[in-house]
Structure 1
Amino acid sequence: MPLHNRISRQELKDRIANDPTPRTTISFYQYFAIEEPVLFRNEIYRALNELGVMGRIYVAKEGINAQISVPTENFEALKAYLYTIPALNGLRLNIAVNDDGKSFYVLDIKVREKIVADGIDDPGFDMANKGRYVNAQEFNELTNDPDTIVIDMRNHYEFEVGHFEKAIEIPSDTFREQLPMAADMMAENKDKNIIMYCTGGIRCEKASAYMLHKGFKNVFHLEGGIINYTNLVKEQGLENKFHGKNFVFDQRLGERITDEVIANCHQCGKPADTHTNCVNDACHLLFIQCEECKEKFENCCSQECQDFIHLPEEEQKRLRSGIDKGRNVFNKSKSRLQHKMNK
């Protein structure tokens, strides 16, 4: 059996769009030592592929990080398989808050140097020395103390559409930039209670270990991140201290947590929190667009891109040649023209 996909991605997207099979979107991670990441990757690929799993999984010597969907009827079989792996026995599986089953369309498992790119090269850093977990109730109780500091360990575009009350944003584009920035910003608060959070828990768990490594004393991290917090709040009837939408890294691009819209359209400034990618293949900027601007600009981020998509296809291909979009994400701290392609 081939250990990778051989069907075109467009065909796979069409298949999942038209497939009525109920699917459940799940995320999970675990930091543990994997001596042979490639062998481990191949073993789990065979097992998950047989269960109809789709999604994105990173494997490294430090552990596993997964965002996947599975046919709902195979959910228990998936859990049973994962629990046969000793380090994953009893693993928490974060079930998506808003889920249409169309989050992924292919199974993609990659071996990486790390499951979260952190930029840490200090041999003394140890993930075993991490902050204390807090669940939803404990998080609410701790944050009722005005001296508790809440730090958001997600990217700026995630924070923009939704975050916890009184959360501090670390204004950076990457996690590797955030870690030293968070330590520097909190340098005068080493003895205070600091709670770190992220989408599903993987980034804030590593961030909590980093802060302890830098000499902070009372560091906590939200168990299971925003996803698990939201599910527990609903199950236990607790106060919800998260406002807005939770950005997710799949085709949904967001889970609605509350009805509040705390962000604005990047084109007209009206309240909006729907992320989209510019339809221009030479751009694909990730940005927030309201319904009015979506219609006006035909799913494009600008007039320039709208003009571009109406050029003859051969002309578009010629102009796209050699363009490196990189991490093409709208950043309000930069000029709106910086992302434009060179014509």
Structure 2
Amino acid sequence: MDPNANKYLLFNKLSSQDAKKKLESETFKRTTLSFYKYVNLKDISFYRDYLYREWDKLKVLGRVYIATEGINAQISIPNYNIEKFKEQLDNDIYLKNISLKEAIEEKDFSFFKLIIKIKKRIVADGLNEIDFDSSKVGNHLSAGEWNDAIDKGAVIVDMRNHYESEIGHFKNAILPQSETFKQELPMVKELLSENKNDKILLYCTGGIRCEKASAYLKHNGFRDVNQLHGGIIDYKKQLMENPKLENKFIGKNFVFDERLSEKISEKVISFCHQCGSKCDMHINCKNMSCNLLFIQCKKCKEKFKSCCSTECKKIIDLSENEQKILRQGSINKNRFNSHRIIN
């Protein structure tokens, strides 16, 4: 008798290609949601498995990180299961009354699988929280309050990575050229060393990074720290609900799923990394052992066959077997951990 016969499969064994085919065969619409919560989770191994069982039943796809400090989730869910999902959240002692942020655009699939991982932190910040109280966060500002503060000359800081702000940001914001959030925190503290008594405005994609960043700056002596409530995603939603509000964000909002971005304004502020023409479309190099994240226009995409260089283009022209041999031990599976401007 199979000892695992009655056990629920708690991870998705489909290949990326098979998962994509399965998704493409669906006849219903999906909605992309993101949410986070800092909450003290108990027995996270058990809780991780519980979430997987419950959410897999609802055909949830996405990427979810849980840690003893809380949860950080970006998911895709069938529209017909949204209310059931909300009911499940409301019956969860940890996630009751959690704020859900709905995607602005649903032009492409956002996720192909459900992946729930246990992490040391729900955002990799490199901080020792014994040294400061991470619950003492900055003031949350609505879109209207945010715009008013900008008009009065507050200091605006983008708490995202350089490849995110490259395609879109608030006008006149400080744009740290960081690769990671962990790297950015001390960088921002240094950049703002002369502004400890000024009104500081922090923003990020959905708000989670600003929770830690605002507490970190307050701990380091900054007196008036504020953050955009719900991040860029909620800012756009508030603009849509109140057309009288001015949109002070230019370009696109980078998102960490298959869509890679959402349009916040019509203006294109970035350039193709290969030819220099105006472009705001990120792509991962088609050579899987490279997988570099960069900006590529349609002409260069055709010219380089979706590759970042002639060297990578030569590799994808090889047979599949030759490519497998070349990338043994060197394949880059994380599509967001390698990014730079192509020379």
Q: Is the 8 Å Cα contact of residues 97 and 231 (structure 1) preserved in structure 2?
A: yes
1:198 aligns to what? 204
User: For 2:155, which of 149, 155, 158 is the aligned residue?
Assistant: 149
Q: Is the 8 Å Cα contact of residues 28 and 93 (structure 1) preserved in structure 2?
A: yes
User: For 1:246, which of 246, 253, 257 is the aligned residue?
Assistant: 253
State the percentage of identical aligned residues: 47
1:252 CA drift (Å): 0.4
C-alpha distance in 2, partners of 1:32/1:3?
A: 23
1:240 CA drift (Å): 0.8
C-alpha distance in 1, partners of 2:331/2:109?
A: 28
1:85 CA drift (Å): 2.1
| Number of equivalences | 333
1:6 aligns to what? 13
Instruction: Show the 5 A alignment for 1:72-221.
Output: 72-100=79-107, 102-146=109-153, 148-221=154-227
- Go from structure 1 to structure 2 and tell me whether the alpha carbon gap of 1:119 and 1:273 turns closer, same or farther (over 3 Å shift): same
C-alpha distance in 1, partners of 2:17/2:321?
A: 20
Matched, 1:323 2:322: no
1:324 CA drift (Å): 5.6
1:301 CA drift (Å): 1.0
After superposition, the C-alpha distances for 1:24-83 in whole angstroms (9 at most, x for unaligned) are 000000001112111211111111111111000000000000000100111111112112
Q: Secondary structure at the match of 2:54?
A: helix
C-alpha distance in 2, partners of 1:312/1:54?
A: 32
Q: Secondary structure at the match of 2:290?
A: coil
- Go from structure 1 to structure 2 and tell me whether the alpha carbon gap of 1:312 and 1:44 turns closer, same or farther (over 3 Å shift): closer
Q: Is the 8 Å Cα contact of residues 23 and 101 (structure 1) preserved in structure 2?
A: no
After superposition, the C-alpha distances for 1:68-115 in whole angstroms (9 at most, x for unaligned) are 010011111111211222342222100001113611111100010010
Q: Is the 8 Å Cα contact of residues 134 and 223 (structure 1) preserved in structure 2?
A: yes
1:9 CA drift (Å): 2.3
Q: Secondary structure at the match of 1:128?
A: coil
Q: Secondary structure at the match of 1:139?
A: helix
Q: Is the 8 Å Cα contact of residues 283 and 328 (structure 1) preserved in structure 2?
A: no
1:45 aligns to what? 52
Matched, 1:298 2:301: no
C-alpha distance in 2, partners of 1:47/1:305?
A: 42
1:287 aligns to what? 294
Q: Is the 8 Å Cα contact of residues 31 and 102 (structure 2) preserved in structure 1?
A: yes
Q: Is the 8 Å Cα contact of residues 278 and 284 (structure 1) preserved in structure 2?
A: yes
In structure 1, give the amino acid aligned to 2:290: C
User: For 2:277, which of 270, 273, 285 is the aligned residue?
Assistant: 270
Q: Is the 8 Å Cα contact of residues 69 and 101 (structure 1) preserved in structure 2?
A: no
1:341 aligns to what? none
Matched, 1:62 2:62: no
Q: Secondary structure at the match of 1:129?
A: coil
1:202 CA drift (Å): 0.4
1:122 CA drift (Å): 4.5
In structure 1, give the amino acid aligned to 2:109: K
C-alpha distance in 2, partners of 1:122/1:328?
A: 25
1:322 CA drift (Å): 3.0
C-alpha distance in 2, partners of 1:330/1:203?
A: 20
Moved over 6 A (4+): none
C-alpha distance in 2, partners of 1:28/1:328?
A: 22
Unaligned runs of 5+ in 1: 338-343
After superposition, the C-alpha distances for 1:170-221 in whole angstroms (9 at most, x for unaligned) are 1110100111111111111111110111001101111111111111110011
1:228 aligns to what? 234
C-alpha distance in 2, partners of 1:24/1:312?
A: 38
1:305 CA drift (Å): 1.0
Q: Secondary structure at the match of 1:41?
A: helix
The RMSD of aligned alpha carbons is: 1.4
C-alpha distance in 1, partners of 2:308/2:262?
A: 22
TM-score, with normalisation over the residues of structure 2? Answer: 0.94
Unaligned runs of 5+ in 2: 1-7
